[in-house]
Amino acid sequence: MSQEIIKTEYSDIMQKSYIDYAMSVIVARALPDVRDGLKPVQRRTLYDMHELGIRSDRPYRKCARIVGDTMGKYHPHGDSSIYEALVVMTQDFKKGLPLVDGHGNFGSIEGDGAAAMRYTEARLQKVSEEALLADLDKNIVDFVPNFDETEKEPSVLPARIPHLLINGAEGIAVGMSTSIPPHNLGETIDAMKAYMKNPDLTVEELLQIMPGPDFPTGGIVVNKDELVDIYKTGSGKIKIRGKVEVEKLKGGKEQLIITEIPYTMIGANIGKFLNDIGTLVETKKTTDIVDITNQSSKEGIRIVLELKKGADTEQLTNMLYKKTRLEDTFGVNMLAVADGRPETLGLKQIFDHVIDFQFELNTRKYRTLLNKELDKKEIQEGLIKACDVIDLIIEILRGSRDLKMAKACLMSGETDGIHFKSQASKKQAAKLRFTERQATAILEMRLYKLIGLEIEALIKEHDATMKHIARYSEILNNYDEMAKVIMQELDQYKKSYAVPRKTVIENAKEVVYVEKKIEEMPVVFLMDRFGYCRTVDIATYERNKEAADTESRHVLTCRNTDRLCIFTSNGKLHTVKVQELPFGKFRDKAFPIDNYCNYDSAQEQMVYICSMEELLLGNILFVSKYGMSKVVSGMEYDVRTKTSAATKLNDGDEVLFAAVLGEQTQVVLQSAEGYFLRFAVSEIPEKKKAAIGVRSMKLGEKDSLEAVYLLDSKIEHTIHYKEKEVLLNKLKLGGRDQKGTKIRC
């Protein structure tokens, strides 16, 4: 076998391969088809259930069986993706129109996961059978080979409803994502019918019929006027609010009841919402909330906020909208596969594709039905004609040597070799011209069909067939008739499956929430060696000074309106607002500093903490483990982000020491091998924070810095090094980038 080496640019191969991979993910995995609104994994799962006969009127079957069969036949991409898709299709809080009927634990709106597939059971919903899987036997859609070409699967399901809009879709592909909100089935069908009758309808007119999204969780869409642009372009942001009710209690007290949540809060975000309310209480943003209880159940959401007597419920509601996810944004990007490629579609474009698909489905369906009726007509006419000459046919059969001879006589009048009773019969037989189908039907006809009533039934059946042929031909040849049939089917689905709208669409005023001005005061920040922190007022600290200093790793005086700056070993700066930290009595509960900023104690070490006010008024000195140092102006750290770069480091290096410079004029560097170097701080140059710095001490090949000390020349500074007292002020004064003096013990 001859081989040929093809020389090509590696970049060209990589580009082509990546594009092929991206298109595979986009078209075959992540994005729904505009025609049936399903991703491949959903389509294959539903079709497999249809093939397994797991219908709505039959017993449930184990999900493991469904997942295994789908993976083995159609979707070889892992069982977890198939089961997750199956679970989502059962959840009525994610889908306005669930496609699968689940039996068992399929998760909850609060983010609880479904039970393992070996425990849960499922079957198709009736709407899936009628609106997505019906008529697959009528050559209504194309079937394509599966991944190993051992089975056939539909390239698209024959969806009779605008399913993409009704259930929406979410998916992340390579370089693109889709996010389509769900809509009300009845309204969507009405809008589609109106558009079929008048394709010149504008988006504004369609939105009068179908006002906007209808989320299964209800809620309030508050930017109604912006929906027109969203549905024209296929992208934009929908603002959703949860529904809050005020409930009066005995004694003049009131409580807030959250009965509906934004669609984006489904899952773990409910827990985060409750934590956010708890944080507002802990940080004294509000003192009106006494207790929070989540009384949600299968009947619906019910989150109760118990309030103090005389609480301002309107102000508190506005605070919840502003400070938590009770008001959130749903990003719309109506991206779907249309004509084999991904495309962002507006409302009218989606309807165009869906309506074209409906006409294609019905054309193929009625063409198949017409061909079947034409075949029946041919056979029926042959049998009726045969009944009129049944004696002659019996004579042909009795006089023929074999079936072939009799069939030839019926089809073309060949009488050679057939024994007839009379010459007249032979002449009559020679005139017979039945078609092959008719001849076969006559030869297979049973004698009881010659009964008078059976012949009458055959004639009636033929009349019915002729009516069907006329009806199917009319539908196929008349656009208006086919449109009428499509709209009648849509009316049936609306009658059977439409439900009242849950989401309110309105133009609401922007929430106005004015925070109470914090009374500025000095506080003391305390953090123990485990990273648990809190703040107390100055008087509380002074009363408990000895215990506070003993138990705390960091003690820092700052203002409650200031921010704390945390410098870490990997060269990052984390900031945290002091007012967000718990404030109270000395023995009140403390919380980990990780809760209030992006600091991760598992990945980095805290090197230095100071207040932003102190930092901006001075310069900060950095010294790294391998001897690089620099001074940076504190003004460079006047940032509002929670995390930013504090300094640049060489590979493998880390920040060993950082401190805001004050009265200190000298620095002492101590290495792991016992070398000490004392020199003036002024020898370390001022650099930008993006600079690595200069070498401050010559270190041996395996040596590194172990400690850094800042000295005030007027104050003696003594340390213990290997059980020996070392007076740092008396060390030989050298210069930067020297080896230093070795202390021998």
Average pLDDT over residues 21-46: 84
Residue 173: predicted pLDDT: 77
| Secondary structure letter of residue 26 according to DSSP | I
| Beta pairing, strands 666-671 & 705-711 | antiparallel
**Distance, CA of 61 to CA of 654 (rounded, Å):** 58
Q: Could you report the per-residue pLDDT of 71-126, keeping only the tens digit for each?
A: 999 998 889 999 999 999 999 999 999 999 999 999 999 888 899 999 999 999 99
Domains of the chain (ranges; CATH) run 38-158 (3.90.199.10), 243-325 (3.30.1360.40), 353-495 (1.10.268.10), 522-742 (2.120.10.90)
**Distance, CA of 588 to CA of 591 (rounded, Å):** 10
Q: Could you report the per-residue pLDDT of 250-260, keeping only the tens digit for each?
A: 878 889 999 99
Residue 1 has pLDDT above 60, yes or no: no
| Secondary structure letter of residue 325 according to DSSP | T
**Distance, CA of 593 to CA of 236 (rounded, Å):** 37
Residue 571: predicted pLDDT: 92
18: tokens are 């990546």
Residue 459: predicted pLDDT: 86
Residue 526: predicted pLDDT: 92
Confidence of residue 600 (pLDDT cuts 50, 70, 90): confident
| Secondary structure letter of residue 137 according to DSSP | G
Helix (H, G, I), strand (E, B) or coil at 142: coil
**Distance, CA of 26 to CA of 45 (rounded, Å):** 19
For residue 468, the tally of other CB atoms under 10 A from its CB is 17
Where b means 16+ CB within 10 Å and e means fewer, 270-284 reads beebbeebebbbeee
Residue 338: predicted pLDDT: 92
Q: Could you report the per-residue pLDDT of 227-241, keeping only the tens digit for each?
A: 999 999 999 999 999
Residue 391: predicted pLDDT: 79
Residue 516: predicted pLDDT: 67
Q: How much is the mean pLDDT over the chain?
A: 89
Residue 737: what residue type?
D
Residue 447: predicted pLDDT: 67
| Secondary structure letter of residue 29 according to DSSP | I
| Secondary structure letter of residue 531 according to DSSP | S
For residue 116, the tally of other CB atoms under 10 A from its CB is 12
Residue 494: predicted pLDDT: 95
Residues in the chain: 745
Helix (H, G, I), strand (E, B) or coil at 285: coil
Among 397-406, 601-610, 725-734, the least confident range: 397-406
Where b means 16+ CB within 10 Å and e means fewer, 73-82 reads bbbeeeeeeb
Residue 664: predicted pLDDT: 86
Own/partner pairs, 512-517, CB within 8 angstroms, 24+ separation = 512/318, 513/315, 513/318, 513/319, 513/321, 513/322, 513/323, 515/285
Among 56-65, 559-568, 724-733, the least confident range: 724-733
Q: Could you report the per-residue pLDDT of 152-203, keeping only the tens digit for each?
A: 999 999 999 999 999 999 988 777 889 999 999 999 999 999 999 999 999 9
Residue 184: what residue type?
N
Confidence of residue 608 (pLDDT cuts 50, 70, 90): very high
User: pTM of this prediction?
Assistant: 0.74
Residue 267 has pLDDT above 90, yes or no: no
Residue 60: predicted pLDDT: 96
Contact indicator for 353, 359 with CB cutoff of 8 Å:
no
Q: Which of 18, 21, 119, 479 does the annotation list as catalytic?
A: 119
For residue 204, the tally of other CB atoms under 10 A from its CB is 11
Residue 366: predicted pLDDT: 94
Average pLDDT over residues 657-685: 91
**Distance, CA of 138 to CA of 572 (rounded, Å):** 65
**Distance, CA of 472 to CA of 106 (rounded, Å):** 44
Q: Could you report the per-residue pLDDT of 366-408, keeping only the tens digit for each?
A: 999 999 999 888 888 888 888 878 878 877 887 888 888 888 8
Q: Name beta bridge partners: 695.
A: 628
Residue 252: predicted pLDDT: 80
Helix (H, G, I), strand (E, B) or coil at 297: strand
Residue 453: predicted pLDDT: 60
1 vs 187, higher pLDDT? 187
CA distances from 383 to 407, 457, 469, 541 (A): 14, 12, 18, 108
Among 337-346, 359-368, 427-436, 493-502, the least confident range: 427-436
**Distance, CA of 649 to CA of 378 (rounded, Å):** 88
Contact indicator for 110, 303 with CB cutoff of 8 Å:
no
**Distance, CA of 218 to CA of 93 (rounded, Å):** 10
Closest CA relative to residue 256, chosen from 247, 264, 265:
247
Residue 513: predicted pLDDT: 67
List CB contacts of 699: < 8 A, sequence separation 6 or more. Answer: 626, 627, 671, 675, 705
Secondary structure element (H or E) that encloses residue 62, with its range: strand 61-62
Q: Name beta bridge partners: 504.
A: 220
Is 119 noted as a catalytic residue in this protein?
yes
Average pLDDT over residues 526-545: 90
Q: What percent of the chain has pLDDT over 70?
A: 97
Residue 745: predicted pLDDT: 64
Average pLDDT over residues 565-573: 93
